[in-house]
Chains A and B, each alone.
Chain A
Amino acid sequence: GAVVSQHPSRVICKSGTSVKIECRSLDFQATTMFWYRQFPKKSLMLMATSNEGSKATYEQGVEKDKFLINHASLTLSTLTVTSAHPEDSSFYICSARKGTGVPSNTGELFFGEGSRLTVL
């Protein structure tokens, strides 16, 4: 099946610094990628939809100036957490859409392994 890779898988940073997380579709082109945030024992919360070549679409309540998303190519989307704060510590997961239709089968929506961010 298709592969989506996230890097880094774990990152620890100090408060006030910025951290960049990459999401790559390794063997297909993804016009759309999604960034989710997962809190402990909670569901995945959709943060934003990343569209190649255009601005990301953020969900209500997600600060676009804090969580910068760039989808510069068809295989790479990045999430930058700016001025990180301990409350930003979380598990961030990206998913990439293969094709343009509804995610109706195993071949269309793939998830990365996730990136655990710890802000000290």
Chain B
Amino acid sequence: GEDVEQSLFLSVREGDSSVINCTYTDSSSTYLYWYKQEPGAGLQLLTYIFSNMDMKQDQRLTVLLNKKDKHLSLRIADTQTGDSAIYFCAESLTGRRALTFGSGTRLQVQP
């Protein structure tokens, strides 16, 4: 079945690295995504990874995928106060056009 889980809250200091984790249960995931939601706003796609990849790096963002363990992570290097937001992981499944989202992780960056 579809089940995407994330921890609810993460607090880091400015300049540190943040690692947000996500687990999923459906092995038919084709793509996995990370979205950012700032207060009162819609979702902004940060990055995505194809399910046959292990890692993807995009500037300060690094996505790691462990398909065997069904574990996805997002690492934000040199975290800034502007990175404070809710981060959602999401998956797209074979034969399903909509994305399935995790519950979101609220990242708080302390100065």
Contact A103/B8 with A93-B43, A111-B43, A114-B40 known, Cβ cut-off 8 Å: no
Chain A residues numbered 91-120 whose CB sits less than 8 Å from any CB in chain B: 93, 95, 97, 102-106, 109, 111-114, 116
Within 8 Å by CB of B42, from A46, A49, A104, A112, lies: A112
Q: Which of A42, A43, A105 contacts B48 (CB 8 A)?
A: A105
Count of residues in B whose CB is under 8 Å from the partner chain: 25
B99 touching A43, Cβ below 8 Å: no
Taking the closest CB of chain A, its distance from the CB of B83, in whole angstroms, is: 19
Expressed in whole angstroms, the Cα–Cα distance for A87 and B8 within the complex equals: 23
**In the bound complex, what is the Cα–Cα distance between A73 and B48 (angstroms)?**
29
Per-residue interface assignment for chain B, residues 33 to 51, with 1 indicating a CB less than 8 Å from any chain A CB and 0 otherwise: 1010000111111001010
Chain B residues with Cβ below 8 Å from A4 are 42
Most chain A CB inside 10 Å of its own CB: which residue of B8, B44, B97: B97
Cβ of A6 < 8 Å from any Cβ of B?
Answer: yes
Q: Enumerate chain B residues within 8 angstroms of A103, measured Cβ to Cβ.
A: 31, 33, 92, 97, 99
- Asked whether A43 lies within 8 Å of B104 as measured between CB atoms, the reply is yes
Contact A104 B50 (CB under 8 A): yes
Which size bracket describes the interface of A in this complex? 20 to 34
Given contact pairs A43-B102, A44-B101, A114 touches B42 in the complex (Cβ within 8 A) = yes
Interface string of A28-67 (1 = CB under 8 A from B): 0000101010000111101001000000000000000000
**Shortest Cβ distance from residue B62 to the other chain A in the assembled complex, whole angstroms:** 17
**B88 CB-CB contact with A under 8 Å:** yes
Q: Is the CB–CB distance between A6 and B42 below 8 Å?
A: yes
A109 touches B45 (CB 8 A): yes
Q: Give 14 A-B contacts (CB < 8 Å), ordered by A residue.
A: A41-B103, A41-B104, A42-B104, A43-B88, A43-B101, A93-B43, A102-B97, A103-B33, A103-B97, A111-B42, A111-B45, A112-B42, A113-B42, A114-B41
Residues of B within 8 A of A (CB): 4, 8, 30-31, 33, 35, 40-45, 48, 50, 88, 92, 97-104, 106
Extra contacts, 11 of them, besides A49-B97, A104-B48 (Cβ < 8 A), are A4-B42, A41-B104, A43-B4, A95-B99, A102-B30, A104-B30, A109-B99, A111-B44, A111-B45, A113-B42, A114-B41
